[in-house]
Chain A
């Protein structure tokens, strides 16, 4: 079974500064994907960024980027130029490819509550 660990229950950052959220995972799979989801107070789960395990290049989406270290099984999220709207819970998630059924299960970490301070 896969496990995802987020060791920082809460973090805060000043507006316009940079913050990094940590995530580690454990798996014996070789074919998988990693994700960061954002959950603002509205409760909606929003996909922020994803990384394919077979790609060495770190994924980037505007102000969001990841540091993917496959050997260390580490997948951190960096948010640059933090904005007030970035205040939310952030979940790291793992997806393996269930090739038999063609379906994909997500395993989530417990989340990090990020507060952006004006």
Chain B
């Protein structure tokens, strides 16, 4: 298995531009998580999906951020318009989650380093 795939690995853009980060979860996994990592705030959960449905987006910082999961094998995190304070590493993680499961490990992608100038 290739693991969680994220693209691009690095993104440099100018303030005001739209940025789209992409994630392909591990095949068969039904939960997908987007995290943001900064020096100041550490790792924060932005949003997670279960069976393609957004369950909790309370971590999304503001309306400029949006996430979609149109199918079980693809998710996007979009920032429009981007600002310098959005510069961070964005991680996607996936897991196989069921109500009856006692534990489901989250597998992380390699992250996308976003720099907004």
Contacts and interface: CB of A to CB of B under 8 A. Distances in A.
Interface of A: 33, 42-45, 47, 50, 52, 91, 97-99, 101-111
Contacts, number: 59
A106 B102 CA distance: 15
Contacts of A109: 42
Secondary structure dominating the interface of A: strand
Main secondary structure on B side of the interface with A: strand
Contacts of A103: 31, 48, 50, 55, 97
State the 6 A-B residue pairs at the shortest beta-carbon distance, nearest first: A45-B108, A102-B99, A108-B43, A110-B42, A103-B50, A103-B97
Nearest to A108: B43
Interface of B: 31, 33, 35, 42-45, 48, 50, 55-56, 89, 91, 93, 95, 97-106, 108, 110-111, 113
B104 A106 contact: no
A96 B14 CA distance: 38
